[in-house]
Structure 1
């Protein structure tokens, strides 16, 4: 089986090398699309599955090659789906103050509290509502994703109060998305309070970064 697997790897490599490229809208740098990595991994996995399923040496070789091609298509498909969604979110949310971050096949929308809520409030600002209108329009176009809405606070005040505030803020964002037509069953809403800081709580700049709502989009196949 090992021989047939290695015969299929050049196909996986060829698919990975020939994958499409995109241009980072912030840096202007050309980079290989996420779908390329998915295709390469899918090809390797498909090669193994195909080789294992064959009986004779010729059959294993053929099945390894077929499996590599099928795996590449599946792996690249997930990446391409998320590539398109990411591009539309970046376009629609440009200038809103909401960051779009790609993490593997996941997309994270970081909504800082300065954009989303007033002080000690869980009522969405008008600018946050407009941004969420744009985000929900894209989410409706790409229903094959799960969505986690997570609220976060800084460490000022009582921990239990911060926990409840983060939950209320996450719920406010999640509810607005469903009002915008995003299916409720796609959503997971959670409050983390002060427990997942991304910066130091020792200064105001760090605390401001910690006060946020993160929306994470994950492909259903993942």
Structure 2
């Protein structure tokens, strides 16, 4: 079952609600993509409508409209260059890869540093890694943060889907608890559906057990 979990939603018309909703109790189907933690002021408007790049663009426009501001077109590359440089500096030696794809930055956090097997509880050592990310994203506030959980193919599909969602939710909650604006965060799980390596080998499965954070600039 594909579902959305709203961690802290503040309605677009000024209706305020900040309640924690367990993923098990509030479910939404979203085509072939699952997004959890549609968090913040835009959550009420986007629950049930978050899917892929189009949803990110809708969220970006809404965030700009809500007053978070945007990076001017000519300055986007420089803005992301600075953010990338800071991330590479702070994450050096942590095992997290930093990949630049045009004006997006993808942080690949492998399973050996993130969560124990079958667990959505953040590893003790992973807190320091996430705190390094926090320091950068708090500085670069005109950035949308997309958190994705992924698993290998071991075990039932439904179990892997649920585990990936819970792991993404754990990371999103940590970011929010560290004073990252909840409105900037979208989190979701993809289970075993997006492998980056063959699941037929131990090494491949290890690569597939990961959390990815994609950082996208808010632009007009």
* TM-score when normalising by structure 2: 0.66
Could you say what secondary structure the match of 1:122 adopts? Answer: coil
Quick one: distance in 2 between partners of 1:110 and 1:148? 12
Question: In the alignment, is residue 120 of structure 1 matched against residue 118 of structure 2?
Answer: yes
Residue 26 of structure 2 is matched in structure 1 by none
Question: In the alignment, is residue 96 of structure 1 matched against residue 94 of structure 2?
Answer: yes
Residue 204 of structure 2 is matched in structure 1 by 206
**Offset at residue 75 of structure 1 (A):** 3.7
Of Structure 1 and Structure 2, the greater helix share is in: 1
Kept in 2: contact 1:96–1:127 (CA 8 A): no
**Offset at residue 122 of structure 1 (A):** 0.7
Quick one: distance in 2 between partners of 1:74 and 1:180? 27
Quick one: distance in 2 between partners of 1:127 and 1:142? 24
**Offset at residue 74 of structure 1 (A):** 4.3
Kept in 2: contact 1:101–1:109 (CA 8 A): yes
Residue 156 of structure 2 is matched in structure 1 by 158
Residue 79 of structure 2 is matched in structure 1 by 81
**Consecutive aligned runs of 4 or more in structure 1 exceeding 3 Å deviation:** 73-76
**Offset at residue 180 of structure 1 (A):** 1.1
CA shift digits 1:154-192 (9 cap, x unpaired): 000000000000000000111111111111110001000
Could you say what secondary structure the match of 2:159 adopts? Answer: helix
Higher radius of gyration, 1 or 2: 1
Quick one: distance in 2 between partners of 1:81 and 1:185? 20
How many equivalent pairs are there? 150
Quick one: distance in 2 between partners of 1:157 and 1:76? 47
Contiguous gaps of at least 5 residues in structure 2: 1-70
Quick one: distance in 1 between partners of 2:186 and 2:72? 26
* TM-score when normalising by structure 1: 0.66
Residue 219 of structure 1 is matched in structure 2 by 217
Bigger RCO of structures 1 and 2 (CA < 8 A, at least 6 apart)? 2
CA shift digits 1:40-66 (9 cap, x unpaired): xxxxxxxxxxxxxxxxxxxxxxxxxxx
Quick one: distance in 2 between partners of 1:160 and 1:74? 42
How well do the aligned residues superpose, as a CA RMSD in angstroms? 1.3
**Offset at residue 126 of structure 1 (A):** 1.6
Residue 188 of structure 2 is matched in structure 1 by 190
Quick one: distance in 2 between partners of 1:221 and 1:157? 41
Quick one: distance in 1 between partners of 2:73 and 2:146? 23
Which residues of 2 match residues 1-222 of structure 1 at below 5 A? 74-221=72-219
Quick one: distance in 1 between partners of 2:153 and 2:200? 9
